Amino acid sequence: MKRIMMKTVLKIIFVGCCMLLTLHANEKVYKLKMATTWGPTLSPLIDAANNMAKMAEELSNGQLQIRIDTANKHKSPLGILDMVKGGQYDMGHSASYYWKGKDINTLPFTSMPFGLTSPEQYAWFYHGGGLELMQKVYNKHHVYSFPGGSTGVQMGGWFRKEIKTLTDLQGLKMRIPGFAGEIMARLGVQVTNIAPGELYTALETNSIDALEWVGPSMDITMGFHKIAPFYYTGWHEPASEMHFIINQKVYKKLPKHLQDILVASMRLAAYDMYIQNYDMNASAWEMMKKEYPNIMVKTFPKPIMDAMKKANEELIIEMTQDNALLKEVLDSQKAYQKKVRVWTQMSDYLYLKDNL
């Protein structure tokens, strides 16, 4: 009797396994293409895209597969939105302020000068209405946008000469994107935006006099310090967030469980990039101080900082006068910053102040 029961159980298990294998074999595999602004070696930015794709494939048991084309392949590092919007690619990984010329409303979702820090901005995205506002802005482009990894506070840039007064900024040719570029232009700087892979050449050939990139972990490997040794502390991008975007039609065609897996993978990859970059910056800063003593770390003088803040306030008023959606986004960030900054001061600021 026991032998008969055992045979029956084994048969049931065998049939069940066959059914599961058959079901798995019949599951549709969804293959997506993603374009990035970054080259194949630009860590940690490209790592966020690679890690997201890997997690999505593993969590879906191979049902969701994402091929990544870096800027070296598609040759359009600043054209990610257009390619995803137009259906050339299903997804993209970039920074939304790169297309401020096409839609100024996308700009605040990367970072705003004197604005939210990375922890504050993540809280705004996920608990303060930021994510909903981002979808509202991107809806006209027929894509969904999600946080894609933060660089934290970015450094203020590399300069050939020390910036002592506002006069030193007059006519200066500088690569600096986003709202900060608008501020610097207001102060007399000739502002341009250049793709990451072209930055060193632009500096080396005197096409620009100064540039802002990210922070020590990515800046040192680019070699900017060899030409422009004055390295300024940050003010303009306190929470620079990259973004994953996906074509709405593509997203809607995915089964619900794959949509959930994709969103979860993007969220985890974004936070992982933030902490990875934090570690990389700490290591690079330690190395920089030892191996490159010629680098002169500076902070912009108070009169320059005051002028930047004044220009920032003026520009926000001007740009939101006839743009209700941009005003809605910036008002939301401002209100959330007023609320959350009190806790940031009570926690992070006072802790550091008392223990440095």
Question: Where residue 26 falls among pLDDT bands split at 50, 70, 90?
Answer: low
Q: pLDDT digit string (tens) for 323-343? A: 999 999 999 999 999 999 999
Q: pLDDT digit string (tens) for 132-157? A: 999 999 999 999 999 999 999 999 99
Q: pLDDT digit string (tens) for 221-245? A: 999 999 999 999 999 999 999 999 9
Q: For the chain, list the domains and their CATH numbers.
A: 10-150+239-279 (3.40.190.170)
Q: What is the pTM of this model?
A: 0.90
Tell me the C-alpha to C-alpha distance, in Å, between residue 291 and each of 239, 278, 295: 28, 20, 10
Q: Say what the pLDDT of residue 247 is.
A: 98
Q: pLDDT digit string (tens) for 166-193? A: 999 999 999 999 999 999 999 999 999 9
Q: pLDDT digit string (tens) for 59-118? A: 999 999 999 999 999 999 999 999 999 999 999 999 999 999 999 999 999 999 999 999
d(CA 50, CA 54) in angstroms, rounded, equals: 6
Assess whether the previous peptide bond of 301 is cis (omega < 30° from 0). no
Percentage of the chain beyond pLDDT 90 is 91
